[in-house]
Amino acid sequence: MKKLNEQDPEIFGLIEKETERQNFNIELIASENFASRAVIEAMGSCLTNKYAEGLPGKRYYGGCQYVDIIEDLARDRAKALYNADWVNVQPHSGAQANAAVYLTFMKPGDKLLGLDLSHGGHLTHGSPVNFSGITYEAHFYGVGKETGRIDMDLVRDKARKLKPRMISIGASAYTRDFNYEVFAAIADEVGAFLWMDMAHTAGLIAAKLLNDPLPYCNVVSTTTHKTLRGPRGGMLLLGRDRENTLGVVAPKSGRVKNWSELLDSAVFPGTQGGPLEHVIAAKAVAFGEALQPDFITYQKQVMENAKSMGAKFMELGYDLVSGGTDNHLVLIDLRNKGLTGKIAEEALERAEITVNKNMVPFDTQSPFVTSGIRIGTPAMTTRGLGKADFEHIVQLIDTVLQNPDSEDVQAKVAGEVRAMCERFPLYDFVTA
Ligand SMILES: *Cc1c(COP(=O)(O)O)cnc(C)c1O
C-alpha cells in the first residue's frame, strides 16, 4: 500500500493501526472472520470501476466481457459449493439479500413469523426498527425457557393461528442446528413460504457439518463474510428452482415467473443498482477456497474449538444458553456471575479480547446492557488456534471477568494475549 501511504498518510496510518489491532487482539466476535490475502487483493482491484447492471450476458452497459466471466465463475463455484441450481451473488450484504427475499415473497402488510431478536434472531427478521418490521406485520417464535432450543410446538401453534405468508429461519445468536424438515411441514400445512437466512452458518453448511436447508426452503439467503470467510457481502440461493405454483407475479408485467427470475429482479432493479464486481470477484476467490478439502478441515476445527470452549466455560461455572453448542459460537448468560454483557464486553476489550454483549432469551436487561456475551471461534481458528489454545482463552476470559474493574488484571491478560497472537501471525501485507 505504498501509494496510499504517499498520497494519504492519514488514512493509511489508520488502516495500519486497524491491521495492528486485528493482529494483536483475540477476536471472538462470532460474525467475524479473517479473509485471505487473495480475497482482499481481488476486492482492492480496478473492478470497482465497472458498471454492470443486469446479469452476465444481459447487461445494461458495454465492456462487461471480463466481469461477465468473473461473475459466472462466482455463480458456478457457489452452486458447486451448495449443490444449488441457482444463485445470485450480487447482494451487497446480508441485509440486502434479505430485502430481495421480502420483495419477492411478501406484500406490505403481509404477516411474517420469525425468530425473536432476543432469542437469537436478526434485525432483518421483523424487528420494529428495521424495514422488515416497519413494512410487514411481524410475529415471533422463540426458544423454550428450559431447553434454550427453538420450541417447534410454539412455531406450529403460532403458524396455525397466524397463517403467515412467510416463515423465516436463521439466527445471529443461536447455538443449535435447525430441523428444516419440521419447519417445511409446518410451512406447507399453513401455506407459508419458508426462508432460511444462513448468514452465520454458511461455512459450516458448505462443509456439510450442519443440516442442509436447500432441499426444504423456498429460498436461502446468506452473508459471505462470516463462517464462509469471504469478502463482506451477501448471496441468494435456491435448492431447486421450484415452480411458482402459488402464482406470485412479477411486479410490472404481471406474468407468473419462476423464483429464480423473480429473485434476480428483486435484487436488480428491485432493491439495488450496479453490482460490486470487485466484491463479486473476491466472492469467487473465497468460494474457490471453500471448495478445497482443507476448508472442511477448518470448519471441523471451528466446531471442535467451540465445543471445547463451551465445555471449559461450564467447568468454570458459566451458564451456557441451551447448555452447549452444535456450531461455531457459545452464548453465555452472565446473570449467575452477577455481571452484565456491557460490563463483560468492556472489561475484556481492555484486556485486548474482543467479544460482543448479547441479549439472552428472556433477558431482563436492555439491548444496550444485556445479560450475555456471544463468543465465536471462526476468526481465531483461521489463525490456526486449536482446542488447547481456546481453553487457555477461556481461562483468560475468566480471569478478567472475576475482576472486571481491575486494570492490573486487564494489563496482565493483555500481555498474554499479545504473546499468543505473536505465535499465530495474521496479516503482514499492509506495510510489507
Ligand atoms: C449478519 C446477519 C445478517 C446481516 O448481514 P449484513 O451483511 O450485516 O447486512 C442477516 N441475517 C443474519 C441472520 C445475520 O447473522
Report how far apart, in Å, the C-alpha atoms of 158 and of each of 17, 134, 138, 141, 142 are: 49, 20, 12, 7, 11
pLDDT at position 432 is: 53
pLDDT digits (tens, 9 = 90+) for 56-112: 999 999 999 999 999 999 999 999 999 999 999 999 999 999 999 999 999 999 999
Percent share of the chain, pLDDT over 70:
97
The CATH H-level superfamily of 301-423 is: Aspartate Aminotransferase, domain 1 (3.90.1150.10)
User: Taking CA 33 as the corner, what is the angle to CA 30 and CA 34, rounded to the nearest 5 degrees?
Assistant: 160
> Torsion over CA of 166, 172, 176 and 182, rounded to 10 degrees?
0
pLDDT digits (tens, 9 = 90+) for 252-270: 777 767 899 999 999 999 9
Whether 141 is catalytic is: no
pLDDT at position 243 is: 63
Q: Is the pTM of this model over 0.85?
A: yes
Whether 51 is catalytic is: yes
Residue 87 dihedral angles phi and psi, to the nearest 5°: -140, 160
pLDDT at position 246 is: 64
**Is residue 277 scored above 80 in pLDDT?**
yes
Whether 391 is catalytic is: no
How far, in Å, CA of 272 to CA of 163, rounded?
30
CATH fold label, 42-290: Aspartate Aminotransferase; domain 2 (3.40.640)
- Does the beta carbon of 95 sit less than 6 angstroms from any atom of ligand 1? yes
Going by alpha carbons, the residue nearest to atom 15 of ligand 1 is 172
Cell of 336: 449467575
pLDDT at position 319 is: 97
List the chain domain ranges.
42-290, 301-423
Whether 156 is catalytic is: no
Residues 6+ apart with CB under 8 A from 338: none
How far, in Å, CA of 360 to CA of 321, rounded?
7
- Does the beta carbon of 31 sit less than 6 angstroms from any atom of ligand 1? yes
Ligand 1 mean position to 125 CA, how many Å? 10
Ligand 1 mean position to 402 CA, how many Å? 32
Residue 75 dihedral angles phi and psi, to the nearest 5°: -65, -45
Residue with cell 463462517: 227
Q: Decide if 359 contacts 424 (C-beta within 8 A).
A: no
Query: Closest ligand 1 atom to the C-alpha of 96?
Result: 9
- Does the beta carbon of 122 sit less than 6 angstroms from any atom of ligand 1? yes
Whether 374 is catalytic is: no
Element of type H or E holding 136: none
User: Taking CA 163 as the corner, what is the angle to CA 162 and CA 168, rounded to the nearest 5 degrees?
Assistant: 90
Could you say which of 51, 85, 261, 335 is catalytic?
51
